[in-house]
Amino acid sequence: MTSLPPMAELLADAARAMESEPGHDATLDAIVREAQKSIPGTDHAGLSLLEQDRVITAAPTSELVEVIDSFQYTFQEGPCVDAVLEGGVYRTGQLARETRWPRFAEAASNAGVHSMLAFRLHLDGRVLGALNLYSTQGNAFDEEAVYIGQPFAAHASIAVAHSRERVQLLDALDSRDVIGMAKGIIMHSLAVTDERAFAVLVSLSQRTQEKLRTVAEKIVDDARSRALRKEGDRGGQRR
């Protein structure tokens, strides 16, 4: 059996590690862990993910990552910002002399980071964020790092997208369950049909300007609290 070329084997191992994690946070941690291990020159790594029209740092390998990312978000400039907004690969090896992002570059170099490499994460036309790599050394990322990093970022994009889809599916199932329980409580309390109970839920959601799931959770929590109090009262009477 022919063995895979070194880079193909490395990427295959990384892809398996990213996809094998069961939870969303664990998947993100696996991505940055594998990036730090696989891409030459990387001292620190992190993800910048688009979440509801804002960018957040996820799975940073150190506090330094969060500090450097905060500079990019504050100044709205830097390799990560350009990777997310413009696409492509952004590399710098001498941040102290960098002219593309002057305010960010000064803050980052003063904090001890001198090289960065950023790749956009995207899939099927959706921009997911960026994979960001950092080094405290100058000129840390060479052509090999870019060569390995580009297909790595493609695998990371797939892992992030699949993980998000799993989270959304589980949230949808949880919402359906809690809404179903709330409808059952309303049906029992008001002696109404399933359809009428759902209409009551929708009406409460509109009046309180809260999501349907939030209203349902409150109804279920209230019913549980009342049941526990009732059980406690019975226990006291038995004594």
Domains defined for the chain, CATH in brackets: 6-163 (3.30.450.40), 169-238 (1.10.10.10)
Residues near 157 by beta carbon (within 8 Å), at least 6 away in sequence? 121, 122, 123, 128
- Show pLDDT as tens, one digit a residue, over the chain (239 residues): 444 456 666 666 776 777 665 688 999 999 999 999 999 999 999 999 998 889 999 999 999 999 999 999 999 999 999 999 999 999 999 999 999 999 999 999 999 999 999 999 999 999 999 999 999 999 999 999 999 999 999 999 999 998 888 887 777 767 788 888 888 989 988 998 988 988 998 999 999 999 888 988 898 888 888 877 765 555 555 55
Buried b (16+ CB within 10 A) or exposed e, 40-51: ebbbbbbbbbee
**Do residues 136 and 42 lie in contact, with contact meaning Cβ atoms separated by under 8 Å?**
no
Gap between the Cα atoms of 62 and 73, Å rounded:
17
Tell me if residue 92 falls in helix, strand or coil: strand
By the 10 Å C-beta count (0-12 exposed, 13-18 middle, 19+ buried), 190 is classed as exposed
**Do residues 137 and 43 lie in contact, with contact meaning Cβ atoms separated by under 8 Å?**
yes
Gap between the Cα atoms of 126 and 224, Å rounded:
41
Token pair for 65: 């990552």
Tell me if residue 99 falls in helix, strand or coil: coil
DSSP 48: E
